Amino acid sequence: MLDGLVISIDAMGGDEAPDMVIKGLEYFLTHEGKGRRARFLLHGDQAKLTPLLAKAPRTRERSEVVHTEKTISMDDKPSQALRRGKDSSMWNAVAAVKAKRAEIALSAGNTGALMAMSKLQLRMKQGVQRPALAALWPKENGVSVVLDVGANIDVDAAQLTEFAVMGEAYHKALYKSESPSIGLLNVGTEDQKGNAVIRAAHERLSESQLGLNYAGYVEGNDISTGTVDVIVTDGFTGNIALKTAEGMAKLIGTFFNEALQGNFWSKMLTFLNAYALFKLKRRIDPRRVNGAVFLGLNGIVIKSHGGTDRVGFANAVNIAILLAETDFMHAIDVRLDALHDEDDNIGFIP
């Protein structure tokens, strides 16, 4: 049995799994995990994992393999995954958290299936209607939290308010911020802008007595400029924004490389500014913020990007450990209890 802080991992989830998963763990333990007490419960096909672990001594030393041949494909619908996914690597990764064999579950697999399995096994926190998928987003002066980025296509004002409360707690836990600012994503900052759901959520957040640092409406460009620390939106809008930003970062990187490799003088400038260019490339690298968290569950589940590489997966592991070392779950419980008490007192209808 593993001791210490245990992370339960779907070793077969992701476009390049299980190779990417094992390489990601080894990368983390080599570059970021020195002195960290984390252990890993790897769920997957032992015949495929054993030769990979043979090439990853640090990971092999800290891991236990739980064999299963069942996997969830990236194309499976959530309903299909629930019907035939029990005893799969993804199901078992979440089940270990439910059984308290691990503190956190991590998967790079099918997002919809992971949400469905997590919700079924761990259940929602009292009063929470749906989990939100919270992603980290680089900005000019640090990192912001954006939620929801894909778990819920349609939401109401009560859910957006819950997202704000949970996003605040997540930012506090990860970045030790005392009073992170919160913005509601809209098509404009004027009071009359937005649909009925957005305006109702704005009213709830504006009138809340929870002490939230609510800044009001923000627009799409505010996500990256760092106007606020937590941006609240529905999963449809958030997912499109996230994928657009990832695509733009890759496009900028491509244009940048082409411009610097065009001729002799460009190559000389690249050589002379190598360190500065390295810092710039690292700053806009989306792998640095890989790892989104399902908020609102009775347990912590982290979703890594399915197409990430070892560096991105290592970052998701780092987020898992940082959260496990905080009172994140208790902080969310306290905030949600206060929010629901407030709603009861003023007669809001969820």
Question: Which residues on neighbouring strands pair with residue 294, listed in sequence order?
Answer: 133, 301
What is the Cα–Cα distance from 114 to 60, expressed in whole angstroms? 25
pLDDT tens, 110-140? 998 999 999 999 998 887 878 899 988 877 7
Start-to-end CA distance of the chain, whole Å, equals 44
User: What would the two tokens of residue 192 be?
Assistant: 């009359």
Q: pLDDT value at position 151?
A: 81
Tell me which of 93 and 285 has the higher pLDDT: 93
- Cβ 212 vs Cβ 168: under 8 Å: yes
CATH of domain 1-126+296-325: 3.40.718.10
Question: Considering the entire predicted model, what is its pTM?
Answer: 0.83
Amino acid 127: pLDDT: 76
Q: What is the pLDDT of residue 21?
A: 95
Fold agreement (1-126+296-325, 129-295): yes
Mean pLDDT on 283-300 = 78
CATH superfamily, domain 129-295, is Isopropylmalate Dehydrogenase (3.40.718.10)
How far, in Å, CA of 44 to CA of 67, rounded?
Answer: 5
pLDDT at 266 over 90: no
Q: How confident is the model at residue 278 (pLDDT cuts 50, 70, 90)?
A: low
What pLDDT sits at residue 350? 38
The ranges assigned to domains in the chain are: 1-126+296-325, 129-295
Query: Residue 281 pairs with which residues in a beta bridge?
Result: none
Lowest mean pLDDT among 104-108, 238-242, 279-283, 320-324: 279-283
Query: Residue 280 — pLDDT band, cuts 50, 70, 90?
Result: low
The single residue listed with the structure tokens 């409360």 is 165
pLDDT at 346: 47
Closest to 76 measured CA to CA, from 335, 344, 304, 306: 306
Nearest-5° angle of CA 60, CA 121, CA 24? 25
Nearest to 147 by CA among 87, 212, 233: 233
Flag whether pLDDT at 63 surpasses 90.
Answer: yes
- Alpha carbons within 13 angstroms on the beta-carbon side of residue 152 total 24
Residue 250 has pLDDT above 80, yes or no: no
What's the pLDDT score for residue 33? 66
For residue 152, which amino acid is it?
N
Question: What are the structure tokens assigned to 38, written together?
Answer: 């984390």
- Summarize pLDDT for 7-60 with one digit per residue, the tens: 999 999 999 989 999 999 999 999 876 656 789 999 999 999 999 999 999 999
Report in angstroms the alpha-carbon separations of 330 from 37, 106, 190, 270: 22, 20, 36, 49
